[in-house]
């Protein structure tokens, strides 16, 4: 079953003209209680998209933790069909996921709930046995991989330390409103007032984080946590893509000395680098028929993003464990 994709600016804007993101439909947690999702190796498949920061979190977490053989992963893309039918398995032979056998992500959503009316979003964690979406809760999905799949971690690192979880959860909620979703609140705002509110929240938030990172190597000190993954995916997209739809920008990410060095420190980690696609973010969908073309339209194919993001930095000086970026699991 395939239906046309709902449009954010028609369905997710309040009376004030502010963007109010749809709630996640499939939010069942993992566990051994009745009604919870069983934690099993080989049962689930993560569907994500290069351009989607929400799903990029989970792809990074899976590689960091060494869960690739436990939770399989596949990519969808937008393409010319996105505005009408949403995400599709364009990278696969025949345009179909080789395990799930579908062309569009929406087929899995409607297979799960034929009456589903929202956008069919990534990340989508699919039960391979039933070919149904069992969780699309980007707020918590990376946390499930970090804590509930601990027995399967090939890399014994702790991205969600138990003693910091309350602080991380509170911080992540602030990060979502002001930073991760802050740019989208600007993009989809349908009134100047709503736009300015979102714009100020975003750049004021960056000021707060610039100060925080002047004293800490990572957001919670010497080690990478779940929060760093969440901040990074917005940083990676901002100068390459987000700025195009934001209006007059106050600063680029490279204009924040601490944030910019911090972002490059994370980019050195293979799981971050492998799951970052700068040229994909920067590609222009359509080149305008004019002599005045955007920076991306002129240079996205040849710009050396990797060289820029690999510029040396000295974030180690802020750490008591300069050669270690991760806390070991207990």
Task: Judge if 145 and 202 occupy the same domain.
Answer: no
Residue 125 lies in a domain: yes
What is the predicted pLDDT for the residue at 311?
A: 97
Residue 258 lies in a domain: yes
CB atoms within 10 A of CB 293: 13
75 strand-pairing partners: 48
Residue 264 CB-half CA count within 13 A? 19
What is the predicted pLDDT for the residue at 296?
A: 84
Catalytic residue at 186?
no
Which of 105, 127, 152 terminates a domain? The answer is 152
- 164: closest CA among 147, 181, 182? 147
pLDDT, tens digit, for every residue of 32-59? 889 899 999 999 999 999 999 999 999 9
Which member of 44, 52, 186, 262 is catalytic?
52
Q: Alpha carbon 277 to chain centroid distance?
A: 12
Q: Which residue has the tokens 């973010």?
A: 281
Task: Judge if 13 and 130 occupy the same domain.
Answer: yes
Task: Judge if 142 and 283 occupy the same domain.
Answer: no
What is the predicted pLDDT for the residue at 19?
A: 79
Task: Judge if 189 and 294 occupy the same domain.
Answer: yes
Which of 119, 152, 185 terminates a domain? The answer is 152
- 142: closest CA among 33, 48, 32, 208? 48
Q: Which residue has the tokens 């010319």?
A: 80
What the block records as the tokens of 255 is 């204009």
Residue 327 lies in a domain: no
pLDDT, tens digit, for every residue of 93-105? 999 999 999 999 9
Task: Judge if 242 and 147 occupy the same domain.
Answer: no
Q: Is 76 helix (H, G, I), strand (E, B) or coil?
A: strand
CB atoms within 10 A of CB 136: 25
Task: Judge if 13 and 105 occupy the same domain.
Answer: yes
Task: Judge if 239 and 268 occupy the same domain.
Answer: yes
Task: Judge if 199 and 284 occupy the same domain.
Answer: yes
Q: Which range of residues forms the domain containing residue 21? A: 8-152
What's the CA gap between 284 and 39, in Å, rounded? 40
120 has binding-site annotation: yes
121 has binding-site annotation: yes
CB atoms within 10 A of CB 81: 16
pTM for the predicted model, two decimal places? 0.92
Task: Judge if 197 and 302 occupy the same domain.
Answer: yes
Strands 71-76 and 124-127: unpaired
Q: Computed over its alpha carbons, how large is the radius of gyration of the chain?
A: 20
Which member of 109, 184, 195, 267 is catalytic?
184
Judged on CB neighbours under 10 Å (0-12, 13-18, 19+), 146 is buried
Task: Judge if 296 and 230 occupy the same domain.
Answer: yes
Residue 326 lies in a domain: no
Query: What CATH number does residue 67 fall under?
Result: 3.40.30.10
Query: What CATH number does residue 225 fall under?
Result: 1.20.1050.10
Task: Judge if 88 and 48 occupy the same domain.
Answer: yes
- Cα-flanking dihedrals φ and ψ of residue 121, to 5°? -105, 160
225 has binding-site annotation: no
Residue 24 lies in a domain: yes
122 has binding-site annotation: yes
Which of 152, 174, 195 terminates a domain? The answer is 152
Residues of the chain with pLDDT under 50: none
Residue 228 lies in a domain: yes
Residue 285 lies in a domain: yes
What is the predicted pLDDT for the residue at 292?
A: 67
- Work out whether the CA dihedral 69, 65, 233, 258 comes out positive or negative: negative
Residue 329 lies in a domain: no
Task: Judge if 196 and 94 occupy the same domain.
Answer: no
Catalytic residue at 44?
no
What's the CA gap between 220 and 254, in Å, rounded? 22
How many domains in the chain?
2
**DSSP characters over 186-221:** HHT--SHHHHHHHHHHHHHHHHHHHHHTTT-SBTTB
What the block records as the tokens of 98 is 């080789």
């Amino acid at each position: 079953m395939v239906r046309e994709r709902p449009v954010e600016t028609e369905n997710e804007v309040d009376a004030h003209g502010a963007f109010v993101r749809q709630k996640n439909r499939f939010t069942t947690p993992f566990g051994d209680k009745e009604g919870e999702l069983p934690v099993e190796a080989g049962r689930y498949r993560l569907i994500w998209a290069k351009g989607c920061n929400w799903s990029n979190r989970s792809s990074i977490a899976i590689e960091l933790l060494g869960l690739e053989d436990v939770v399989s992963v596949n990519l969808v893309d937008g393409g010319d069909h996105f505005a009408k039918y949403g995400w599709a398995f364009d990278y696969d032979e025949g345009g179909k996921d080789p395990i799930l056998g579908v062309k569009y992500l929406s087929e899995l959503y409607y297979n799960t709930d034929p009456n589903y009316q929202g956008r069919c979003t990534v990340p989508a964690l699919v039960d391979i046995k039933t070919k149904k979406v069992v969780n699309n809760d980007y707020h918590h999905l990376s946390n499930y991989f970090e804590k509930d799949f601990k027995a399967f971690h090939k890399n014994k690192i702790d991205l969600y330390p138990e003693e910091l979880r309350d602080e991380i959860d509170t911080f992540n909620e602030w990060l979502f409103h002001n930073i991760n979703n802050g740019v989208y609140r600007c993009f989809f705002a349908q009134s100047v007032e709503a736009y300015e509110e979102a714009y100020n929240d975003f750049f004021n938030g960056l000021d707060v984080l610039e100060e925080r990172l002047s004293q800490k190597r990572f957001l919670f000190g010497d080690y990478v946590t779940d929060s760093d993954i969440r901040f990074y995916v917005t940083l990676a997209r901002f100068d390459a893509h987000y700025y195009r739809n934001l209006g007059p920008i106050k600063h680029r990410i490279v204009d924040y000395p601490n944030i910019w060095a911090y972002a490059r420190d994370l980019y050195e980690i293979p799981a971050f680098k492998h799951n970052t696609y700068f040229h994909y973010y920067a590609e222009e969908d359509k080149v305008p028929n004019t002599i005045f073309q955007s920076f991306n339209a002129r240079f996205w194919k040849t710009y050396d993003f990797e060289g820029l993001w690999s510029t040396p930095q000295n974030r180690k000086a802020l750490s008591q464990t300069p050669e270690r970026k991760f806390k070991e699991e207990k």
